[in-house]
C-alpha cells in the first residue's frame, strides 16, 4: 500500500476544501438550517409528533442524510472530474499507484468532508431542538457507511461525466428527489397503502430509516435490513469502479 500517494491525494482534496470553505462547509450548513426552519415551522405547526417523537427532532436525521448524500456525491464527483478536465488524471494513472489507492485518496477526502458536515449539522440542531441519540455508535456507523457509499457513487459519476452539465445531472434529477421521497421528513406509515408500497422500492428509504432508528429506536424498516442495503450498495459501487479502472472506461481517452 502506497500510503504516501494516498496521503498526497487526500491532502490535495482537503486543501481545496479549505480554500473554498464558504462553498464547501458554510453554504450546505446554512441551506440545511433553512430546510429545518421551513419544515420545522410550517409542517411542525400542523404535525406535532410522529410516533411520539417531536416533529422538529424527527426530521433531524432526514436533514443530515439529505446533506451528506448530496455533498458526498458532489465532492467526490468533482474531485475526480476536475483532473480529467485539466488532463492531470493521466499523471495520476501513470504513477506507481493502484486503483484502490486512488479511490482511497479521493473518496476518503469526500467522506471526511461529508462526515464533518453531518456532525456540524447535528451539533447545530441540538441547540434548536431536543435531540437524543439512543445508539450513538450505530449512528456514526450508518453515517460513515452512507458517506463512503455515496462518495463512491459520486466517484463513478465523475468518471462517467464528460461535461459539467452531466456532472450535476444525476445528483439533481435522481439523488435529491430520492432523498425527499425516501421518508426524510415523514414516516412511511403516514402515506396511503399504494404509496407505501412504492416508497419501499426507494433505496434511500433504507438509509434514512436505519439512521433514524439509531436516534429514536423507531424506523420504517429493520435496521438490520438497512445495514445490509447500504453494505450491498457500497460493494456494488466498488465493483463498478474496479471495472472502470480495469477497462480504462473514460480514463484512457
Count of domains for the chain: 1
Q: Is residue 109 part of a domain?
A: yes
**Lookup: cell for 66:** 439529505
> What's the predicted TM-score (pTM) here?
0.89
Q: Is residue 252 part of a domain?
A: no
Q: Is residue 118 part of a domain?
A: yes
Q: Is residue 253 part of a domain?
A: no
In this prediction, residue 212 carries a pLDDT of 92
Instruction: Report the distance separating Cα 71 and Cα 62, nearest Å.
Output: 14
Rg value, the chain, Cα:
19
For 92-132, how does the pLDDT look when each residue is reduced to its tens digit (9 = 90+)? 777 788 888 888 999 999 999 999 989 988 888 888 888 88
In this prediction, residue 47 carries a pLDDT of 66
Q: Report phi then psi at 49, rounded to 5.
A: -140, 155
Q: Is residue 205 part of a domain?
A: yes
In this prediction, residue 147 carries a pLDDT of 93
Q: Which domain does 98 fall in, by range? A: 3-247
Number of alpha carbons in the 13 Å side-chain half-sphere of residue 92: 27
In this prediction, residue 45 carries a pLDDT of 59
- Nearest CA-CA partner of 167 in 77, 70, 68, 44: 77
In the chain, which stretches have pLDDT less than 70?
20-25, 39-48, 252-253
In this prediction, residue 238 carries a pLDDT of 93
Q: Is residue 204 part of a domain?
A: yes
Amino acid at each position: 500500500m502506497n500510503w504516501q500517494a494516498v496521503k498526497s491525494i487526500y491532502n490535495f482534496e482537503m486543501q481545496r476544501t479549505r480554500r473554498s470553505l464558504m462553498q464547501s462547509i458554510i453554504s450546505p450548513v446554512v441551506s440545511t438550517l433553512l430546510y429545518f426552519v421551513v419544515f420545522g415551522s410550517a409542517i411542525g405547526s400542523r404535525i406535532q409528533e410522529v410516533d411520539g417523537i417531536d416533529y422538529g427532532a424527527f426530521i433531524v436525521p432526514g436533514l443530515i442524510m439529505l446533506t451528506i448524500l448530496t455533498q458526498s456525491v458532489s465532492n467526490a464527483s468533482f474531485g475526480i472530474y476536475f483532473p480529467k478536465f485539466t488532463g492531470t488524471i493521466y499523471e495520476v494513472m501513470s504513477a506507481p499507484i493502484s486503483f484502490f489507492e486512488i479511490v482511497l485518496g479521493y473518496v476518503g477526502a469526500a467522506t471526511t468532508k461529508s462526515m464533518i458536515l453531518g456532525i456540524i449539522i447535528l451539533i447545530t440542531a441540538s441547540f434548536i431542538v431536543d435531540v437524543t441519540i439512543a445508539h450513538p455508535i450505530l449512528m456514526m456507523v450508518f453515517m460513515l457507511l452512507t458517506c463512503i457509499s455515496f462518495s463512491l457513487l459520486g466517484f463513478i459519476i465523475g468518471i462517467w461525466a464528460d461535461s459539467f452539465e452531466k456532472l450535476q445531472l444525476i445528483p439533481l434529477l435522481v439523488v435529491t428527489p430520492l432523498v425527499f421521497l425516501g421518508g426524510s421528513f415523514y414516516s412511511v406509515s403516514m402515506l396511503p397503502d399504494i404509496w407505501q408500497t412504492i416508497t419501499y422500492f426507494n433505496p434511500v428509504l433504507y438509509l434514512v430509516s436505519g439512521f433514524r432508528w439509531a436516534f429514536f429506536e423507531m424506523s420504517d424498516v429493520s435496521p438490520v435490513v438497512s445495514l445490509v442495503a447500504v453494505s450491498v450498495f457500497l460493494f456494488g459501487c466498488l465493483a463498478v469502479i474496479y471495472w472502470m479502472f480495469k477497462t480504462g472506461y473514460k480514463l484512457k481517452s
